[in-house]
Every structure is written in structure tokens, then in C-alpha cells.
Amino acid sequence: MRSYVLDASALISFLEDKAGAQKVEELLEQARRGNARVLLSSVNCGEVYLKILRDHGQEHAIRTISAVSRLPIEIQDATTSRSFHAAEVKNKYKLYYIDAFAAALAFEHKATLVTSDSDFKKLGHNFPVLWLRTN
């Protein structure tokens, strides 16, 4: 079974029906059918919450994250081990620390990272990325 890790930009694209939303919807449908796993770091979920909070206020942010919790997305806690792995990924690839959580989770699960954030190009061509739009 294929595994995918959403970064914050992927989930935001889906929630705001922006470029790439259809690809994320297809992955979620595969997960609903049991044909794929869709993962999200709790740190990146917090990043999504922050963006919605800034753009639309706390009530909207709470409602949105509540709706996200009903999607077939496995939110993975930022354990001590994962935070250290993210630090190592950040150090090696020069990513933002918050982005390194998504990359580290993808490494951990041998998953494809789903993103529209061009910073992930730093991971190189051998790292599986599903780009939601041309970067």
C-alpha cells in the first residue's frame, strides 16, 4: 500500500480548493477505500491551524481542524524521536524546521511527500515528491 505525507501547503490547497486540491482529494479517496495511507505531522497540522487562524479567526480555525479530523488522514504526533529526526533532516537539507517534520515523516514511512512548497526541492531528485503545481 502506498503512503503519502501531506505538508501544510497540500492540506491548505485542499481546504481552500486551490491548485492541486483535486490531487489531494484523489489521495483521500484512495485512503477511504483502504488503498493508501495519508499521513500528516501534528506540527504541520498546527501550521495549517495557524494560517486559518490568521486569515479567518479562531472559530473558523477550530471548525476547519475539526473537519480535518474526520478525513482519512492519520495525524502523527511529534514525539521526541521525531523531533530529533526532523532536526537531522533540517540540518542535512537546510529546510525550515517545520518543513523538516513533513520530510522526516516521509522518510520514516517511506512515503511520497505531497506539497506545493518549492523548498522541498532541496531533498533532491531521489526523494519521492508529488508536486501539486509547477514550482
Please state the domain extents for the chain.
Answer: 2-127
pLDDT band for 135, please (50, 70, 90 cuts): very low
Reported as a single tens digit per residue, the pLDDT across 2-51 is: 999 999 999 999 999 999 999 999 999 999 999 999 999 999 999 999 99
3-state secondary structure (DSSP) of residue 28: helix
Q: Which three cell numbers stand for residue 26?
A: 484523489
Q: Hey, what CATH class is 2-127 in? A: alpha beta
Q: E strands of 15-116, at which residues? A: 36-41, 74-76, 112-115
